[in-house]
Amino acid sequence: MCGGFVFTYTIKIQENDVIRQPNYWQTVSPHLLYNSGRVLTYVLLGQVFGFVGSTLGIIFALRDLQGILQLFAGSVMILMGIELTGLIPALAPDSFPGIGRFKMIVRSLFNKVNRKNIFILGLILGFIPCGLVYAAGAKAAATQSMAGGMITMLVFGLGTFPAMVLTGLTVNLVSAKLRSRLYRIAAILVVLLGLLTVMRGIDAMDWIKFYWLF
């Protein structure tokens, strides 16, 4: 999922914030800002996970909570990916409170993303993490402290930082002729990984076992 979002925002920035001959900083800064926003969200989530683990005793039922979060995140990813493909002009309003508003904000940011608001996009998309984040979240909750949860998620976020930046930089090497195709591929990738996240959520809740996913 993360790779699909990186390809999408990088292509959009090239369309919305055109610089004929960008210097090194202008090329790298959007990816640094996006990932800084993403990591900050992870740290805040780590605080929440640590709080939950320490005060509600939910650590013993964390697998069910993880499954619910994966089902929610995967469903949102699928809906967003379908809209990003452009195959469907607009989906019907969502039945879950708040999802429609959340998707509208993300879609608006993607359409208008530039070097000035990319940090905000990173902050928001940090709430729709890949499956690895849930494993890190479980570890954060296991610390049973807010400080421990924040440190755990900070280390995880910083560990993914280099790969995410490099992924974004490779998009700049792609010719303009292939950008529209890559945009569609990126959207399809978001849908596929959304399906994977949903299946992992189902597996975590012991509805159906997908042993081949692990």
pLDDT in tens, the chain (214 residues): 566 788 788 888 878 777 777 788 888 888 999 999 999 999 999 999 888 877 755 555 555 666 676 677 677 767 777 776 666 555 544 555 566 677 777 777 777 888 888 999 899 888 876 656 766 777 787 787 899 889 999 998 998 888 888 888 876 666 656 666 766 777 787 788 778 878 877 877 776 655 555 4
Phi-psi region of 94 (alpha: psi -120 to 50; beta: other; left: phi over 0): beta
CA distance 205 to 134: 14
Q: Is the pTM of this model over 0.95?
A: no
CA distance 106 to 125: 8
DSSP state of 61: G
Tokens encoding 67: 């499954």
Measured over the CA atoms of residue 103, residue 105, residue 108 and residue 109, the dihedral's sign is negative
CB atoms within 10 A of CB 8: 24
Q: What is the pLDDT of residue 150?
A: 94
